[in-house]
Amino acid sequence: MALRITRSIVPNLLTLGNLYSGFTALVYITKDDFFHAALFVFIAAVFDMLDGVMARLINSTSELGAELDSLCDAVSFGVVPSFMLYKMYFYQFGDIGILLSSFPALGGVVRLARFNVMLTSFEDKLYFTGMPIPSAALTIISYLIFFKLNNKLNSELDFYVMLFLAIAVPLVMVSYIKFDNMPRPTKKSIKQRPIVFIIFILAILLSVITKGMAVFPFMLFYILASSIRWFIKWLKSQRTPEDDISEIEEE
């Protein structure tokens, strides 16, 4: 039977490039070469971005592509950061360390499964429900490479940050907090969210100027700002009509 070649083969090959990069990162981690492992996670993120762009350009978005993308993301942005956490720190805690290290991978897989179930269209969204798994991976790896590897923090503070990466980051992935999607460099996107676009550009510039040191603080800001915005909206949603009536009567 002849092999059927369709337009979707181009974005699907890019998606497989994501998986190959993630696998290569795992190999480097086994060699304790964490810098090159992080580099291949970054390459995986580039492939992850390009496959979606290409699929929209040639109008070849499909459910198969979405499922394939999620499977590859689970390795590159779930398993790889978890394994790096284990090899760089949690290995010393035995079985408890294995469990803690697995949380980003477990949370990421749940996040991807929920995303696929809730997927209604292939258009770009302004917000994601829960922190996207590539952003979570960037949060974890940016700390490990730019802070942990260079011993920038004392051992006590480093311990709490590592717990935050292993527990809090997976929790925000599976949460219902709304996280901004990366703004696109178009007039429409800039007009819709000018402040988000400016913050994003500033984050890139600062990351380049500081040679990557600003990435982790920016990701912390991303988590904190999104969580505060969600909490404020949740508080407003708890206001009942009875509360409003009683306030009017008191006035």
Q: Write down the mean pLDDT value for the chain.
A: 86
- Dig out the tokens for 173 from the structure: 């992935």
Q: What is the mean pLDDT of residues 56-61?
A: 72
Q: What is the mean pLDDT of residues 220-239?
A: 89
Residue 182: closest CA among 214, 220, 135: 135
Q: What is the mean pLDDT of residues 42-69?
A: 82
CATH 1.20.120.1760 fits 9-177, yes or no: yes
Using the 8-state DSSP alphabet, how is residue 148 labeled? I
User: pTM here?
Assistant: 0.86
Compute CA distances 11 → 30, 60, 66, whole Å. Answer: 29, 8, 11
pLDDT at 241: 52
Residue 17: closest CA among 53, 62, 69, 59: 69
In which region does residue 123 sit, left (phi positive, over 0), alpha (psi from -120 to 50) or beta (all else)? beta
The SS3 of residue 128 is: strand
**pLDDT over 90, % of the chain:** 53
Please, is 200 exposed, middle or buried when counting C-beta atoms within 10 Å of its C-beta (0-12, 13-18, 19+)?
A: middle
**Least confident segment among 20-24, 150-154, 164-168:** 150-154
What does DSSP say about strands 178-180 and 127-129: parallel, antiparallel, or unpaired? antiparallel
Which residues, listed in sequence order, are joined to residue 129 by a DSSP beta bridge? 178
pLDDT at 3: 45
Q: What is the mean pLDDT of residues 21-29?
A: 97
| Boundaries of every domain in the chain | 9-177
Q: Residue 5 — pLDDT band, cuts 50, 70, 90? A: low
Q: Is the pLDDT of residue 1 over 50?
A: no
Q: 70-104, pLDDT tens digit by residue? A: 999 999 999 999 999 999 999 999 999 999 999 99
Consecutive H or E run containing 88: helix 80-88
The answer to whether residues 72 and 134 touch, using CB atoms and an 8 Å cutoff, is: no
pLDDT at 6: 61
The answer to whether residues 119 and 64 touch, using CB atoms and an 8 Å cutoff, is: no
The answer to whether residues 212 and 138 touch, using CB atoms and an 8 Å cutoff, is: no
Q: 157-215, pLDDT tens digit by residue? A: 999 999 999 999 999 999 999 998 877 666 766 777 788 888 888 988 998 899 889 99
Buried b (16+ CB within 10 A) or exposed e, 145-181: bbbbeeeeeeeeebeebbeebbeebbebbbbebbbbb
Q: Residue 24 — pLDDT band, cuts 50, 70, 90? A: very high
Please state, in angstroms and rounded to a whole number, the distance separating the CA atoms of residues 114 and 129. Answer: 9
